[in-house]
Amino acid sequence: MGQGAVLKVLEENKGWMLTGEIMEVLHESRGSINNALRALYKHGEIMRKDLNTRNRKVHIWKSKDTEDARNGSKKHTEKQ
């Protein structure tokens, strides 16, 4: 399991996902999922939202490619 597997799950989901939901799909440990998510986020491949629930900070994740597809690659056309 690596960053590619996590990115594929996020791209196929097309919505925001909790780390635990990604863990269930890939049957991997929280640590390995978190490492992959951290690297993907650092390299700009995915987006993160921070939520505060019951005095806990929770991250939800989404693929940037999914967002670009919904906007008709708006980001690409703006650069031209």
Token pair in block for residue 49: 């939202």
Question: What is the topology classification, in CATH, of domain 3-79?
Answer: Arc Repressor Mutant, subunit A (1.10.10)
Q: Is 2 helix (H, G, I), strand (E, B) or coil?
A: coil
Domain ranges (residues) in the chain: 3-79
Sheet holding 17-18, edge to edge: 17-18, 56-63, 46-53
68 vs 59, more confident: 59
What is the torsion angle, in degrees rounded to the nearest 10, for the CA atoms of residue 56, residue 32, residue 47 and residue 6?
A: -130
pLDDT at 31: 95
Segment 44-65 mean pLDDT: 91
pLDDT class of 27 with cuts at 50, 70, 90: very high
